[in-house]
């Protein structure tokens, strides 16, 4: 590409700030230019939360603000407080990174396009998107879609794994339990909620709950619709989640299972592999969609395989958003 990809970050929460950090600090995110940021929270609050982060630590460069701008290191970008993107002029923006979590209806999802941007990439499930696309699962279906959902962090962890192993060994059925860190949707103290388990204090208990991953995975891998079940447990950790998968294989890998997995999961962008006895915090800041803990692998004579994989549900997901944004913008460059 002859010029940087111009992205606009709408929503400066956990994912929006992770995207901002990666573009400024990661070599893998080279080639992006931040055209602006929009959030309804005050500029000084957003700057503070960028400067000091409870998960990833202080921002490694000075963070400053001024009237209508946010600066980090040697870049300064416009900062807006627009409740509706249609009020802004986004002409020349290649991709709006829609990170508000509110793009559930078509009017909200297409607001960035109506403001002049070429594409919109939504950081979560959205029925309003033209298409839901997950790298490693159904990227060939991106086509000419202009409003795309990047699905969920858990879908990005599960779908590429199932797709790769189905191709290598054949999967007759699979059950996946996601062990997910708590999120902002859970209370810090017990309080009434529609879901009784989710109404309990997030940092105190393990909480059985629902997940959209089942529907999302079968949307991008429809062949698994009658072969997959998914359950979820929220746990009292602040970052990094895991998938615990039990797969019934058509052909069990011969010899060393770790060697067979290394060969099957060869895409280093999507998959990491570790032989170390890691715990969740060791995987913080990893950009892969899933990092397989090879010592946890078990295979029975009957072809049943158990796997444990880690994923940084913020950092890894943000890395996939940038990969997807690069693909979307690349169609016009």
Task: Give the helix, strand, coil percentages of the chain, each rounded to 5.
Answer: 30, 25, 45
Nearest to 151 by CA among 320, 325, 17, 331: 320
Tokens 């594409």, located at residue: 119
CA angle 184, 237, 320 (to 5 degrees): 70
Is 153 an active-site residue?
yes
Segment (H or E) for 155: helix 153-169
Length reported for the chain: 333
- Helix 153-169 to helix 213-220 angle (10° resolution) is 50
Question: Considering 46, 99, 153, 181, which one is annotated as catalytic?
Answer: 153
DSSP characters over 217-256: HHHHSGGGTTTEEEEEEEES-SS-EEEEEEEEESSPPPS-
Strands 119-122 and 207-209: unpaired
**Active-site amino acid positions:** 153
């Amino acid at each position: 590409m002859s010029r940087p990809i111009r992205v606009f970050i709408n929503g400066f929460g956990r994912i929006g700030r992770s995207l901002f950090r990666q573009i400024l600090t990661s070599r893998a995110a080279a080639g992006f230019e931040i055209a602006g940021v929009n959030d309804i929270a005050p500029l000084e609050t957003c700057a503070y939360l960028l400067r000091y982060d409870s998960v990833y630590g202080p921002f490694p460069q000075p963070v400053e603000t001024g009237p209508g701008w946010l600066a980090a290191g040697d870049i300064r970008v416009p900062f807006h407080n627009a409740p509706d993107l249609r009020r802004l002029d986004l002409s020349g923006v290649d991709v709006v990174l829609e990170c508000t979590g509110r793009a559930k209806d078509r009017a909200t999802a297409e607001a960035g396009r109506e403001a002049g941007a070429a594409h919109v990439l939504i950081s979560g499930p959205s029925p309003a998107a033209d298409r839901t696309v997950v790298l490693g699962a159904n990227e060939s279906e991106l086509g000419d879609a202009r409003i795309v959902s990047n699905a969920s962090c858990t879908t990005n962890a599960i779908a590429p794994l199932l797709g790769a192993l189905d191709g290598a060994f054949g999967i007759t059925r699979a059950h996946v339990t996601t062990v997910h860190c708590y999120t902002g949707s859970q209370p810090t103290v017990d309080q009434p909620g529609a879901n009784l388990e989710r109404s309990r204090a997030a940092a105190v208990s393990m909480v059985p709950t629902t997940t959209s991953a089942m529907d999302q995975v079968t949307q991008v891998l429809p062949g698994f619709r009658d072969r997959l079940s998914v359950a979820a447990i929220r746990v009292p950790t602040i970052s990094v989640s895991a998938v615990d998968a039990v797969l019934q294989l058509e052909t069990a890998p011969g010899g060393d299972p770790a060697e067979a997995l290394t060969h099957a999961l060869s895409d280093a962008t999507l998959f990491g592999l570790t032989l170390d006895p890691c715990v969740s915090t060791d995987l913080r800041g990893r950009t892969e969609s899933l990092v397989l803990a090879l010592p946890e692998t078990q295979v029975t004579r009957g072809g049943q395989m158990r796997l444990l994989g880690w994923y940084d549900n913020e950092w890894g997901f943000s890395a996939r958003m940038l990969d997807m944004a690069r693909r979307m913008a690349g169609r016009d460059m």
